[in-house]
Chains A and B, each alone.
Chain A
Amino acid sequence: MQKLEAPFKDLQATNINTFLFFSEIQGRFVVDEDGTVVGKLADLKLRLGELFPTVATLVVKKRREKKLLELDWQEVQSLNTTMIRLNPGACKKFRPLEVNPQEILLRDELLDKQVVDTFGAKIERVNDIHLLIVNRDLRIVHVDYGIRGILRRLGWLKAIDFLTNWLFAYQFEEKMISWKYIQPLPSGPAKQNLKLNVTSRKIHEIHPSDLADIIEELDQISRSTVFRSLDLQTAALTLEEVDPKLQLRLIESAPVELVSDILEEMAPDEATDLLADLPEEKQQKLIRTMEKPSREAVEELLKFKEGTAGSIMTKDFLSVRKDKTIGDAVEEFRKTVYPLESISYIYVTDQDNRLVGVSTLRHLITCEKDATLGKLMNTHLVKVEPEDNVNTVASLFKKYKFMALPVVDKEDVLKGIITIQDIMQSQL
């Protein structure tokens, strides 16, 4: 029998508080109360749910047995970096390994895999796992993604530390992320989003632009799983940000109902751009499933050719009749539940919906409540038609430095607006 080098950490003592790395106990001997070897520690099973989840069972590989066995963590009496000692009589309590959706295997599903760091909004690879023994429980606290984790597992850490200290008086930094910011990813096509759902609330804290970057970097399975776990609004915002080629892939991988719900959440012009790239059949199917206001907006926008003002304009704008007062306009503003793309201008129309002037947010805030818009509005209008070329529109933006431009048809009826974001996107 090997001589014990490291002191035992007695788990029976309740005041013990020690950190250890998974690599320091993985593959070590599991022995019974007499010190006879039972098997080797193959894995640890974690029960998800708490902020810092506890290890539920230890997974043991016995010699000449193919199947892995598990044993409750409570049966561990003490451990050190050479062996894990069990309670008396624990050997009879082994049972075949089973993993529920709320459980995760450290070695099989976390170590060496990719995870999302929701705090730094980045994807990292797990090099080691940092555990804490507190009150008899073993809890996961950090994920190690630095070079030290790799060196520790290779067994080179001490040698390299010595070398770098001696040569440069430097030591590689410890790089760890707290478990509360870790989002594990699915490991294969077999088990899909179940596990993600338990923990996916973390991922909603990431800004949609960062989420889009993350999704672009993931493999196809994780990508669609993460995407489907998002709430509708986050999904819509994220979808707007990802690469157009990937947008299609994501849409194809998700069920039609979900996609049409997401499309409704998106700005109509963005949704239209996306739909325009889809095959005819899929496009029609999705439009049919969408709810009325969004559907109509999208259907109208789809009629315009690519590269024209009509194809990039948005229908989200505020227009008020010219006989209405400032108070009415403010009320109108309040009633608009969906987010407007541009709130810089309020468009003023006559009774036939023809554009006659424009008023600004400044008027709404500074003017008397009962003043009519018709008197305040600016009637010198710069406007474009849906058939106008996008480049022409862009040069108008450059010349006048507006935040948005109205789009009108031949009869001056207001059809939509083009915001500075729309034009920037079309010019990139």
Chain B
Amino acid sequence: MKKISLKIHWKTILLFMAVAGPGIITSNVDNDAGGIATYSMAGARFGYSLLWSLIPIMVALIIIQEMSARMGVVTGKGLSDLIRERFGVKITVYLLVAVVLTNFGNVIAEFAGVASSLEIFHVSKFISVPGAAVLVWLLVVKGTYRSVEKIFLYACLFYVTYIIAGLLAKPDWGIIGKSLITPTFDFTSARMGMLIGLVGTTIAPWMQFYLQAAVVEKNIAVRDYKHSRLDVMVGSFVVTIVAGFIVLTCGATLFKAGIRVETGADAALALAPLAGKYCSALFAFGLLNASLFAASILPLSTAFVVCEGMGWEAGVNKKFSEAPQFYGLYSMLIFIGAGIILLPGIPLFPVMYISQVINGIVLPVILVFMLLLINNKKLMGEYTNGRIYNVISWMTVLLLVGLSLVYLGSLVRL
């Protein structure tokens, strides 16, 4: 009896391994340079008091991503493909322009992350940024989907540096436990703004596109869908743990010392005298890994999304002459994104700012489209949302839409 059950277990694990990847990768890319900066800021400014909010954010993340993965498995089509077929070319084109702009802002942020994290290790940005751009570009142009996915999965392992850094910072576990169980919140604008920032950095438009495309690329059968769902849940869980450790590292050190930070690299530098040089180095290395990782995925995902929606050939296994728009857009995002970092006196803040504003406009549109698509019987057959699930997901989406609109309002007022 026991032997049989063990055998089934192995089979399940193997199947999971075959299906896993998209969810875990997407979630981990989510902890990119922008994400790390936001988590560091949250920890440095509010200590452990916002830690609890990561749990509801994780739930929302799982709900949204589960729908993306399900659409990918059932329809076998990407999100921009579905939006084009269902809502027509006009909406698609304007939406894609917005997605390209906001993703471009993110790409710049990733290269800024590469530059600043390597500057901590005394590498000039004039070496690190071009090097990173070429590396990222080659990875996709010369690689196959499977080899690239493997590299990405290994890159996920490096996020463990944040957990070690967190342990080195010697946080007070008693207080952390207490603040997780008894969430406190007041509606001061600073705290509210930070909370919205956390949500905004965790649930971004590009993720839905990337996750669905990656699921489609894997050709996952509908009957294996439950493994794909597990993949999404594991990914969301891991990303929350890592985010939590970043918050508590900064909470245990910077918050106590009263140091405010604006970026992940600031945090890494400020950590050195407080938690030791190893903690600081680990933090900086984590930032480098995250920035590189996201810098490889974001341009790729953007190029895919655009080509799919417009009906142009796309894919890493195509030659340049077969898919010129795909490679053109992909290369442009990387090299212009990296080039901007190298220009002296470029004001990064306005670029980030505009990208965040567009992000805030695009996210509600995409979330609503997703809900309309997933409840379309003609498309999803028996795999539409159940009634209760629909209520929960609509509520989640409306909450997110509300938050991003409030955030947008606060950004524009600035």
Binding site for B on A (CB under 8 A): 111-114, 124-125, 127, 145, 150, 153-154, 187-190, 218-221, 223, 245-246, 249, 252
Contacts and interface: CB of A to CB of B under 8 A. Distances in A.
Contacts of A221: 75-76
A221 B380 CA distance: 11
A246 B90 contact: no
A125 B379 contact: no
Contacts of B76: 218-221, 223
B94 to A, nearest CB: 9
B328 to A, nearest CB: 14
18 contacts: A111-B88, A112-B84, A112-B88, A113-B85, A125-B311, A150-B89, A150-B93, A153-B88, A153-B89, A188-B379, A189-B378, A189-B379, A189-B381, A190-B381, A220-B76, A223-B76, A246-B219, A249-B219
Contacts of A114: 311
Nearest to A124: B311
A125 B307 CA distance: 11
A154 B93 contact: yes
Contacts of B84: 112, 125
B85 A112 contact: yes
Given A112-B88, A187-B85, 5 more contacts: A153-B90, A154-B89, A189-B379, A219-B216, A220-B76
B310 A154 contact: no
B256 interface: no
Interface in B221-237: 221
B260 interface: no
A190 B378 CA distance: 6
Contacts of A249: 219, 221
Interface string B328-368: 00000000000000000000000000000000000000000
B9 interface: no
A40 to B, nearest CB: 15
The 10 closest A-B pairs by CB, nearest first: A125-B311, A219-B76, A220-B76, A189-B381, A188-B378, A219-B77, A153-B89, A112-B85, A112-B84, A188-B379
Nearest to A252: B221
B311 A127 contact: yes
A188 B383 CA distance: 13
Contacts of B379: 188-189
What bracket does the count of chain B residues touching chain A fall in?
Answer: 10 to 19
A205 to B, nearest CB: 22
Contacts of A111: 88
A187 B84 CA distance: 13
Interface in B262-278: none
Contacts of B89: 112, 127, 150, 153-154
A145 B378 contact: no
Interface string B59-88: 000000000000000111100000011001
B178 interface: no
Contact of A219 (B75, B221, B377): B75
Nearest to B223: A252
A111 B90 CA distance: 12
A112 B88 CA distance: 6
Contacts of B85: 112-113, 187
Nearest to B379: A188
A368 to B, nearest CB: 53
Nearest to B382: A189
A125 B90 contact: no
B311 A190 contact: no
Contacts of B90: 153-154
- Most A C-beta atoms less than 10 A away, residue of B85, B93, B378: B85
Contacts of A154: 89-90, 93
Nearest to B88: A112
A148 to B, nearest CB: 12
B383 to A, nearest CB: 9
Contacts of B381: 188-190
Contacts of A252: 221
B146 to A, nearest CB: 11
Nearest to A155: B90
Contacts of A113: 85
A153 B88 CA distance: 10
B216 A145 contact: no
Nearest to A188: B378
Nearest to B377: A190
Contacts of B221: 249, 252
B14 to A, nearest CB: 13
Nearest to A150: B89
A145 B219 contact: no
Interface string B208-220: 0000000010010
B130 to A, nearest CB: 31
A114 to B, nearest CB: 7
A187 B310 CA distance: 18
A382 B377 CA distance: 63
Contacts of A190: 377-378, 381
A245 B18 CA distance: 12
A238 B186 CA distance: 64
A221 B222 CA distance: 11
Nearest to A153: B89
A218 B75 CA distance: 11
Contacts of B75: 219, 221
Interface string B291-322: 00000000000000000001100000000000
A292 B310 CA distance: 50
A212 to B, nearest CB: 14
A295 to B, nearest CB: 27
A428 to B, nearest CB: 14
B68 to A, nearest CB: 15
B395 to A, nearest CB: 27
Nearest to A222: B76
A114 B85 CA distance: 9
A219 B81 CA distance: 11
Nearest to B84: A112
A249 B89 CA distance: 32
Interface in B362-414: 377-379, 381
A114 B377 CA distance: 20
B379 to A, nearest CB: 5
B212 to A, nearest CB: 12
A137 to B, nearest CB: 27
A183 B378 CA distance: 21
A223 B219 CA distance: 12
A187 B88 CA distance: 14
Most chain A CB within 10 A, of B88, B216, B219, is at B219
A396 to B, nearest CB: 31
A124 B308 CA distance: 11
Contact of B311 (A145, A188, A189, A219): A145
A189 B73 CA distance: 13
A187 B378 contact: yes
A105 to B, nearest CB: 12
A122 B202 CA distance: 39
Nearest to B376: A188
A145 B74 CA distance: 26
A157 to B, nearest CB: 13
A150 B90 CA distance: 8
B378 A125 contact: no
Nearest to B309: A125
Contacts of A189: 74, 378-379, 381
